[in-house]
Structure 1
Amino acid sequence: MNSRFAVFTVPLLLAAALSSALALANGDDEEPAKPNCPKGQVWDRKSQKCVMQTSSLVPDADRTDYAYRLARDGRYEEALALLDTLKDPNTAKALNYRGYATRKLGRTDEGIGYYLQSVKLDPQYAQVREYLGEAYVIKGRLDLAQEQLQQIKSICGNTCEEYQDLAEAIHDSSKT
């Protein structure tokens, strides 16, 4: 009986461990929740369903992550509205995502302001430095974008996604 248990259990545990390791390697630990909720709702990880964004039961972390998901889906105004519901809007992630949404709405200077606040809170946050660098590219300030690229390199090297994405944005802008 024990050997049968081991035959089935060990491969399952190994598969679970490998899938977790792959998720972390692919950056999925930072990836927002997958479900797309209707406007005015937010994904609640605990209940595993969409709930009204006014619900006090949804923690700031879920709101912040879902706001980023909305922004990545092009739903920038909804993302900003959701970030407005945070009990503590002054976290590095929340400010970064607010900067991302405002930049994508064409309000680049405003976005830069949010990114700079985020950097003050967490200077080692590579993603905010990538987005700040991309904003500088939009403004034509490749010198400042290069500074952010060097900061990212000191944080995670030149093979991390943030470094690669900003390097590509800088390279693409110099071709035009």
Structure 2
Amino acid sequence: MNRKIILFALAAFTASLAGQPAMAVGDNTSTPPKKTKTTTQCKNGHVWNAKRNRCVEAKRSDLGDDILFDAARELAYAGQYENAIKVLGAMKEQQSARVLNYLGYANRKAGRMELGMQYYKRALQADENYLLARSYMGQALVEQGRIEEAKVQLIEIRDRGGENSWAYQALLQSLGGLRGY
């Protein structure tokens, strides 16, 4: 596909979404995660523990994986990639697609592209239908100039029923020259 076709497809897809809420990365909301005390007060792999009313070390906390995942996602959105990686490392579910995917995202954004790609591949080995990993991998491929490989991921997302998802839209935008997450 040439650039004009991609831009036309992007415009058509965006028009088809008019009136539908956009989906943020990793959830079903229209906005990135709200900043909490995890990103505004905690440092060095610590997360906010509301019960204790203070920052706690993620590894030594009794916080569950869902709370730690939400904190890691918030940190990644805030550009605190090293802290996100530390918090993800504290989770019990180390081999889940969602953890591997965000390890890929945080490493890629921190400048470790190859390591990020390895995590995306592992996320897809854990769950080949994890569309967000396909989208992030595709965006990384676009960043590397590997457009045809990125298109393969876009088609995989579509073929797995994700054509109306944030994952598809974000990768399509990335292929159209717009900045993806």
Fold in common (TM above 0.5): yes
1:73 — aligned with what?
78
Report the number of matched residues.
151
1:54 — aligned with what?
59
1:109 — aligned with what?
114
Alignment of 1:22-171 (within 5 A): 27-28=28-29, 32=33, 34-37=35-38, 38-39=42-43, 40-44=45-49, 47=51, 51-52=55-56, 53-171=58-176
The AA in structure 2 aligned to 1:117 is R
**Residues 129/146 of structure 1: CA separation in 2 closer, same or farther (3 Å cut):** same
Counterpart Cα distance in 1 of 2:177 and 2:134? 18
What secondary structure is seen at the aligned counterpart in 2 of 1:172? coil
Higher RCO, Cα 8 Å, sep 6+: 2
**Residues 30/117 of structure 1: CA separation in 2 closer, same or farther (3 Å cut):** farther
Counterpart Cα distance in 2 of 1:145 and 1:89? 26
TM-score with structure 1 setting the length: 0.74
Cα RMSD, aligned residues only: 2.9
The AA in structure 2 aligned to 1:122 is D
**Residues 135/62 of structure 1: CA separation in 2 closer, same or farther (3 Å cut):** same
Which is helix-richer, 1 or 2? Answer: 1
5+ unaligned residues in a row in structure 2: which ranges?
A: 1-20
1:124-159 deviations in Å (ceiling 9; x for gaps)? 111111001001111111111001101111233422
**Residues 55/150 of structure 1: CA separation in 2 closer, same or farther (3 Å cut):** same
Counterpart Cα distance in 1 of 2:71 and 2:61? 15
Whether the 8 Å CA contact 1:142–1:170 is kept in 2: the answer is yes
TM-score with structure 2 setting the length: 0.72
Counterpart Cα distance in 2 of 1:165 and 1:48? 38
By how many angstroms is 1:28 displaced?
Answer: 2.9
